Structure 1
Amino acid sequence: MPVFFLVFLLFFATARTAEAMHITEGILPFQWFVTWFAVSAPFVGIGMYQVKRKKRTIPSYLPMVGLLGAAVFVFSCFPIPVIALSGMATSHPCGTGMSAVLLGPFVSVLVAAIALLIQALFLAHGGLTTLGGNVFSMGILGSFSGYFAFKMAQRCRLPLFWCGFLAGMISDIFTYLGTSLELGLLVINGGGSFVKATTEIFAAFMMTSQGILCLVEGAVVGFVMVFIYKRRPGILLNLGVIKNEAKSMGT
């Protein structure tokens, strides 16, 4: 935790409003600002309910939520400008694939929402009017895509590393697909092509920094899963990530 606060203070001291991450404040018109808040709010509410329920049955659950919340916050605090988008958004790791696998997708949405809110309030990353949209892309799409990618990989009996790798990679891809969709929708009122705009924005992300970041984050999540399995397998068992009979999941 001291490391987290050190990183927090470092970014607080060096944050610049001109280089905001996620979708930047002021980009979304009022109707989309309201729409994305309405879409995201129920997921955050369910996440809060699940935290209250699970902390009664899993003693270590609340500290795990705090730890992964710090991880998601720090992961998503490394903005890499996407020059082709003219300052509308930046690229960065997400961390929601890992939090979704360990905590469940709804709680992962809550974790992402809190991280995004803190960044908007104190670091000038993202914004309050774009919070709903950023929660939708990074929290909802990132968490659920990573969670289902992990479960599908488990059903295919892939080793734990590759289950984690796919969760991290797919989570990143869907996060930036969501951001591309949100920005692509902005051209409709001006008579532009939604499909063309979305495709170009997504290509700008994936052909620059985010394509590499997807692979890096996938590897990080894979190694974290294997590390926990080898050192503290009881954590994965208690959280329902693996079962007792999952003997082939250690590599």
Structure 2
Amino acid sequence: MSTLAYDGTALLGRQLRRLRNNPGLLILTQTMPITMLLFFAYVLGSALAMPGAEYRSFLVPGLLVATAANGIMTGMFQAAQDTHRGVTDRLRSLPISRAAVPLGQAVADLVVTAAGTVPLLLVGLAMGWRVEGSVLGAVGAVGLLLLFRFATTWAGILLGLLTRSEEAAGQLGGATFVLPLLSNAYIPTDGMPGWLRTVAEWNPISAATTALRDLFGNAPVPDGAAWPVAHPVAGSLAWCAVLLAVCVPLAVRRYAHGER
């Protein structure tokens, strides 16, 4: 365990230096959620029946979770890039813990996400969004958000190690933008056709979004929803546990053994 902690810390530093040396990508990943918040709040929000302030309270938790779900894309692209360029093979030849490389990538992504969440929340506050629940609930919401990002990043790392191609990872990563659209992140699901509502409410993003809205005090849990949305905190934790239980061992094994 001490070896994993030491090696993981070293690889965490590598990932953070990698981001520091690519400031354009870092700026883009930090500003894109704010741009989307402004667009959805003032463009899409004007077409919905909800009043402006009410929709912004509905939107901010959804956009936070949608941004966290982008851990799939970032994790996949970075893992595929390292594999495609031979960096993974060079790291595999070193006497380090096999779990340290993906763990360092996942923790570095979590650090950057935590830092990027602050300006997004500040913009949301400036637009009229408020934490209407308890302080403890708000802290729990942020913790759940970071756990969800950590879990989706591991899913992305596994996919990146499987694709082994920057081009394939880029194209597959673009497809992940559909996931928040097929959820309750931007619009309520009660107006959807029955089968589509079921699909959307079993989307992990819907459970996490509903949990944040409930913990922040922005919106009540909807009636008649599927189990993950009807019990959003438990549903979100269950989805995170499934993603981590499946993706972490598979990603570590894939990293350790390469294509074998």
**CA radius of gyration, larger in:** 2
Higher helix share: 2
> Is the structural similarity TM-score above 0.5?
no
Which protein, 1 or 2, shows the higher relative CO under an 8 Å CA cutoff with sep ≥ 6?
Answer: 2
Report the TM range for the smaller structure's normalisation.
0.3 to 0.5
Q: TM-score, normalised by structure 2?
A: 0.39
